[in-house]
Chains A and B, each alone.
Chain A
């Protein structure tokens, strides 16, 4: 690092429907992004999403910024070569306060979890739907598309306002972007119905195995753990000079945490089954009478269990709505019923009064096929102990998940948990490097350390912190040695010669 590095920042926030430059911007404060919020480097679930502060002059926005989308970009010019603007953060503005001498403002922004967590997502009941599907340039991501076959996680992200980063050209002004790996986990029945889409997303990631985090470019990612060791375009991080390598100062801390390690995992499953045709909703009319010829959309009618409203493949309806209505004489009236929307646990209907006189709606009954637990059990996977000196197994009971519905699924989760979460794994912390564009959390690296005697070690960058006003970055790396890789398994759609060896799966 020297005078031949010039660091520039800029930031934009969305106001009036489009992104505009953040007025009066003075400084962007350090940003730390990380891919694991848990105990180990590859803990399944979600990471703590980054935050950012923007320091401005008094020209900073005084209105129109409340919970507005915001992103910041950095540009590094090296040796007179102008760099390109690179996004380093994306999130929502949450707070404005005066700076220390009241000569300007400090705006605090949080990650996209702040937005996603406030979104209520309700999906239809899906059958054998993959929990996440890979986002590509051509993947169908809009859940309302009739041909939608995407994963539930993709659906949560889309409905929370995200758009696929792989299709950024089609969605240039999206508030935020996401990128999903595919997972082969596809429970028999699945759906999302939650007030907090973020926690629903984390539950999906935990069930599928994998992590949700925001990378150093502000993209919310879901990573299939089987891709953690699938090295793509690694950067080289060395403590001695080599052409093309990122040079760090040689100071590194190696850490292995056994306190959260385990070699035995127990996972419970609950098999779901479609139940007999029965009343799934039965309640008095939730609104007053219908006026003459009135059409009225009712508040959602909520069922106790998810309901298989339709045949998954044919779309044929498998329910009926029975409305009991009477006119002022007490004579029954056949009220028109049309269905506005269906999600797994709700039905929104519109009633039409056919009479030019008020009618009383006495009761609404819905019949359908609920889906509930028919069988439950658990699977246990015993992996190798941490080393030859171990004289005991360390067991962890995995959190229950709606999406773990069969013995094979529970076995798989248990095996994955031991391999990725439970197995102790060295993490190399605190590597101070000059800021280098293109380096992001979740990216791959080859690591060298003279002091530790490490050479060309495959790693994943699990944390990145921008320091020194953007001049430096501090990286944490986790070794991926020994991790099971997707390419070691038989992949649907790949071609193989007869002699090729692969594994069936986890």
Chain B
């Protein structure tokens, strides 16, 4: 259930009527619990790179990453964290970040985990609610192009660890009304203040959309790693730790012909969890967990999933393992939910001391949520960028559409904003994947869902707003997928 969908406006209290105003105190009581839950919700890890970490390794500039965000008036800053330990050979790599085609960051890349940022977003010509497209390149202005050596790239290895915009607190939703203290009676102004505070928090939480996770789906004949011993990269990303103390990744595999292999999770280059070793032809799934509690809240954590091929394939044509990265999520291991007592029965007798205590407790609960939002800067003052599909044209998009899906693992919001082109479909419910060539097991899969809606059919890039309640069967908590075409932004809005 969405934590925030029911908040359209603050309930109203009128002097002379009973305190249990329909949709007033009852809604507040229920709503506070949902606000508490929403303020502790996990978030998807930032999506950096999938199996092919940098798409055209022999190019200069190197197409590095692309995605988008939905601009809100009040944002000032775009921030990017890049990690590298190898800058490359005979190159001076620079990062170039464009927003809607205009260069906003152009800086020399240094080793380690570095922050690159641009401010002054208010003057970038964006309108409130507009989806901005972000493209990142690594380039060397002095290196030859296009005859960059494709066979033995001089590039190093670069990871985009995090990218976000903000501050969300800069978006104007009015002043925090504060919370009242009830003393001698249910003063209507104070009751209204209580409702306004809850509504303000709902509005505040709703300012942070959830970009969909760019899920990696196993597909036939992925050519990006061999069946020889090694530890090929499958996914990387991560982000600032923030209030979360663990990172959870779910992987699913169908083992190829390598004799023994496993999948491991690394944080900042160190292995923190692994699947058991599995043999050729086996299949399975596992949830890998990284304990982040030893890191500070501001630590920038590079997460990476690798397939570790311990013993390669025997003789014969190699068949690579298929691995799906279902989700990578930052969570709190023990969310500090408030002890919120049950909503009292309307007809139950209580003393004013008790009732006053309940009302003041509601104030306290709201204040705790407000403080949490203020303190969890990384969670509530920043909006992560959406990771676009890896394709750079519609033809490539069509080729890759079976392999990368923008997924929302559990719907919690009311709206979805999608920008893209070329046959973008929203699918939910039971799914099936069929080979595009019936008799060729190595052909791509074509996906379909029990419920699906074409969002953008033409080749023209469009931004669409979809109110998820209008899609029959797509209930809160259900997974849905944005599939096909060239998806440049997909973010779920809580309200």
Which residue numbers of A lie inside 8 Å of B, CB to CB? 127-130, 133-134, 149, 182-188, 226, 273-277, 312-313, 374, 405-406, 408-409, 411-412, 415, 486, 489-506
Known interface pairs A277-B465, A490-B355, A492-B186; A505-B12 also in contact (CB < 8 Å): no
> What residue in chain A is nearest B192 (Cβ atoms)?
A492
Residues of chain A within 8 A (CB-CB) of B184 are 495-496
User: Can you give 22 A-B contacts (C-beta < 8 A)?
Assistant: A128-B9, A128-B23, A130-B17, A184-B17, A186-B23, A226-B18, A312-B9, A408-B22, A408-B27, A412-B20, A491-B16, A491-B19, A492-B186, A495-B184, A496-B185, A498-B351, A502-B350, A503-B350, A504-B18, A504-B347, A505-B18, A505-B346
For the complex formed, measure the closest distance between the CB of B363 and the CB atoms of chain A, giving whole angstroms: 16
The segment out of B163-171, B315-323, B328-336, B466-474 that lies at the interface is: B466-474
Residues of chain B within 8 A (CB-CB) of A504 are 18-20, 25, 344-348, 350, 355
- Tell whether B32 is near chain A: CB-to-CB under 8 Å: no
A493 to B24, CA, bound (A): 15
Known interface pairs A491-B186, A495-B185; A406-B27 also in contact (CB < 8 Å): yes
Q: Could you mark each residue 331-363 of chain B with 1 if its beta carbon is under 8 Å from any beta carbon of chain A, else 0? A: 000000000000011111111110110000000
A406 to B13, CA, bound (A): 17
A81 to B353, CA, bound (A): 54
Cβ A494 vs Cβ B10 within 8 A: no
> What residue in chain B is nearest A497 (Cβ atoms)?
B352
For the complex formed, measure the closest distance between the CB of B247 and the CB atoms of chain A, giving whole angstroms: 35
Residues of chain A within 8 A (CB-CB) of B13 are 492
Residues of chain A within 8 A (CB-CB) of B188 are 492-493
> What residue in chain A is nearest B469 (Cβ atoms)?
A374
A275 to B19, CA, bound (A): 30
- Tell whether B191 is near chain A: CB-to-CB under 8 Å: yes
For the complex formed, measure the closest distance between the CB of B343 and the CB atoms of chain A, giving whole angstroms: 9
Cβ B346 vs Cβ A182 within 8 A: no
Known interface pairs A277-B465, A503-B349; A493-B20 also in contact (CB < 8 Å): no
Cβ A505 vs Cβ B9 within 8 A: no
Q: Assign chain B's interface to a size class.
A: 35 or more
A411 to B21, CA, bound (A): 13
A183 to B14, CA, bound (A): 9
- Tell whether B126 is near chain A: CB-to-CB under 8 Å: no
Residues of chain B within 8 A (CB-CB) of A493 are 15-16, 185-188
Cβ B351 vs Cβ A415 within 8 A: no
Residues of chain B within 8 A (CB-CB) of A412 are 20, 22, 346
- Tell whether B415 is near chain A: CB-to-CB under 8 Å: yes
Cβ B346 vs Cβ A506 within 8 A: yes
Residues of chain B within 8 A (CB-CB) of A128 are 9-12, 23-24
A503 to B25, CA, bound (A): 13
A186 to B192, CA, bound (A): 14
Residues of chain B within 8 A (CB-CB) of A275 are 467, 469-470
Q: B16 is contacted by which of A185, A409, A492 (Cβ under 8 Å)?
A: A492
Known interface pairs A275-B467, A501-B349; A494-B186 also in contact (CB < 8 Å): yes
- Tell whether B62 is near chain A: CB-to-CB under 8 Å: no
User: Between A and B, how many residue pairs show CB distances below 8 Å?
Assistant: 159
A489 to B186, CA, bound (A): 11
> What residue in chain A is nearest B12 (Cβ atoms)?
A128
- 20 more CB-based (< 8 A) A-B contacts, given A130-B14, A273-B469, A493-B16: A183-B17, A184-B18, A184-B20, A184-B22, A185-B21, A186-B11, A186-B23, A187-B22, A276-B467, A313-B9, A415-B346, A491-B19, A498-B352, A501-B350, A502-B349, A502-B352, A502-B355, A504-B25, A504-B345, A506-B18
A409 to B11, CA, bound (A): 13
Known interface pairs A492-B188, A505-B19; A276-B347 also in contact (CB < 8 Å): no
For the complex formed, measure the closest distance between the CB of B18 and the CB atoms of chain A, giving whole angstroms: 4
For the complex formed, measure the closest distance between the CB of B380 and the CB atoms of chain A, giving whole angstroms: 23
Residues of chain B within 8 A (CB-CB) of A276 are 415, 465-467, 470
Residues of chain A within 8 A (CB-CB) of B23 are 128, 186-188, 405-406, 408-409
Residues of chain A within 8 A (CB-CB) of B16 are 134, 182, 491-493
Residues of chain A within 8 A (CB-CB) of B19 are 184, 489-492, 504-505
Residues of chain B within 8 A (CB-CB) of A496 are 184-185, 352
Sort A-B residue pairs by CB-CB distance and give the 7 closest, nearest first.
A505-B20, A493-B15, A184-B17, A276-B467, A498-B353, A496-B352, A495-B185
A501 to B354, CA, bound (A): 9
A88 to B63, CA, bound (A): 88
- Tell whether B8 is near chain A: CB-to-CB under 8 Å: yes
Cβ A408 vs Cβ B26 within 8 A: yes
For the complex formed, measure the closest distance between the CB of B365 and the CB atoms of chain A, giving whole angstroms: 18
- Tell whether B248 is near chain A: CB-to-CB under 8 Å: no
> What residue in chain B is nearest A490 (Cβ atoms)?
B19
For the complex formed, measure the closest distance between the CB of B416 and the CB atoms of chain A, giving whole angstroms: 10
Cβ A127 vs Cβ B9 within 8 A: yes
For the complex formed, measure the closest distance between the CB of A286 and the CB atoms of chain B, giving whole angstroms: 28
Cβ B347 vs Cβ A506 within 8 A: yes
Cβ B415 vs Cβ A503 within 8 A: no
For the complex formed, measure the closest distance between the CB of A179 and the CB atoms of chain B, giving whole angstroms: 14
A79 to B336, CA, bound (A): 79
> What residue in chain B is nearest A371 (Cβ atoms)?
B8
- Tell whether B220 is near chain A: CB-to-CB under 8 Å: no
For the complex formed, measure the closest distance between the CB of B362 and the CB atoms of chain A, giving whole angstroms: 13
A248 to B415, CA, bound (A): 68
Cβ B12 vs Cβ A186 within 8 A: yes
Cβ B352 vs Cβ A499 within 8 A: yes
Which of the listed residues A374, A412, A490, A491 has the most CB atoms from chain B within 10 Å of its own CB? A490
Residues of chain A within 8 A (CB-CB) of B308 are none
Which of the listed residues A129, A182, A498 has the most CB atoms from chain B within 10 Å of its own CB? A498
A367 to B188, CA, bound (A): 37
A346 to B102, CA, bound (A): 45
Residues of chain A within 8 A (CB-CB) of B21 are 130, 184-186, 492, 505
Which of the listed residues B184, B347, B349 has the most CB atoms from chain A within 10 Å of its own CB? B347
> What residue in chain B is nearest A311 (Cβ atoms)?
B9
- Tell whether B297 is near chain A: CB-to-CB under 8 Å: no
For the complex formed, measure the closest distance between the CB of B19 and the CB atoms of chain A, giving whole angstroms: 4
Cβ A492 vs Cβ B15 within 8 A: yes
A394 to B353, CA, bound (A): 38
Residues of chain B within 8 A (CB-CB) of A498 are 351-353, 356
Q: B347 is contacted by which of A134, A490, A503 (Cβ under 8 Å)?
A: A503
For the complex formed, measure the closest distance between the CB of B13 and the CB atoms of chain A, giving whole angstroms: 5
Residues of chain B within 8 A (CB-CB) of A490 are 18-20, 186, 352, 355
A162 to B348, CA, bound (A): 39
Cβ A406 vs Cβ B469 within 8 A: no
- Tell whether B272 is near chain A: CB-to-CB under 8 Å: no
Known interface pairs A275-B467, A276-B467; A133-B14 also in contact (CB < 8 Å): yes
> What residue in chain B is nearest A226 (Cβ atoms)?
B18
Residues of chain A within 8 A (CB-CB) of B469 are 273, 275, 374
Cβ A506 vs Cβ B20 within 8 A: yes
Q: Could you mark each residue 1-43 of chain B with 1 if its beta carbon is under 8 Å from any beta carbon of chain A, else 0? A: 0000100111111111111111111110000000000000000
Which of the listed residues B11, B12, B465 has the most CB atoms from chain A within 10 Å of its own CB? B12
Residues of chain A within 8 A (CB-CB) of B26 are 408
Residues of chain A within 8 A (CB-CB) of B27 are 406, 408
Residues of chain B within 8 A (CB-CB) of A499 are 351-353
A503 to B352, CA, bound (A): 10
Residues of chain B within 8 A (CB-CB) of A405 are 23
Cβ A486 vs Cβ B349 within 8 A: no
A383 to B349, CA, bound (A): 17
A406 to B17, CA, bound (A): 19
For the complex formed, measure the closest distance between the CB of A311 and the CB atoms of chain B, giving whole angstroms: 9
Cβ A184 vs Cβ B349 within 8 A: no
Residues of chain A within 8 A (CB-CB) of B25 are 504-505
Residues of chain B within 8 A (CB-CB) of A501 are 349-352
